[in-house]
């Protein structure tokens, strides 16, 4: 990548970053009780949100054992599952949310590098 291409790339990233600063994120994390995997998913997604979405997100944690109807309505087949409702497009992530890069790319907070 040439220096000019790099400058253009950085400007585009900065513009994208500024444009996204006011987007509100609506996230729902479906867990299965107080299991170690559920606890880890909660800690990981809260850390990601606090570091990258401070003041711009709503995170709802739903225990599918306590509220099975909500899980059925969202067609949850594995837990933990994070659903990004807004901004569109809707996205789903399954697992303990420990792959921060994958989550950030999926939330459109980081560009995928090739």
- Residue 105 has a pLDDT of 95
- Residue 79 has a pLDDT of 96
- Residue 4 has a pLDDT of 66
Q: Alpha-carbon distance 101 to 109, whole Å?
A: 9
CATH number of the domain located at residue range(s) 24-106 in this protein: 3.40.30.10
Contact (CB, 8 A) for 80 and 32: yes
Distant-in-sequence, close-in-space partners of 83: CB < 8 Å, separation ≥ 6 = 27, 28, 29, 30, 74, 90, 91, 92
Q: How many residues does the chain have?
A: 114
Would you list the domain boundaries of the chain?
24-106
Q: Alpha-carbon distance 70 to 62, whole Å?
A: 8
The whole-number mean pLDDT for each consecutive block of 10 residues of the chain, a chain of 114 residues, reads 61 53 90 96 98 96 95 93 96 97 94 72
């Amino acid at each position: 990548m040439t220096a000019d291409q790099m400058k253009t790339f950085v400007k585009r990233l900065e513009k994208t970053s500024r444009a996204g600063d006011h987007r509100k994120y609506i996230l729902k994390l479906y867990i299965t009780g107080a299991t170690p995997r559920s606890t880890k998913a909660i800690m990981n997604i809260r850390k990601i949100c606090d570091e990258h979405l401070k003041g711009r997100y709503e995170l709802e944690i739903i225990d599918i054992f306590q509220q099975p109807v909500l899980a059925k309505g969202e067609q949850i087949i594995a837990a933990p599952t994070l659903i990004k409702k807004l901004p569109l497009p809707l996205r789903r992530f399954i697992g303990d949310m420990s792959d921060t890069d994958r989550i950030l790319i999926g939330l459109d907070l980081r560009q995928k590098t090739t």
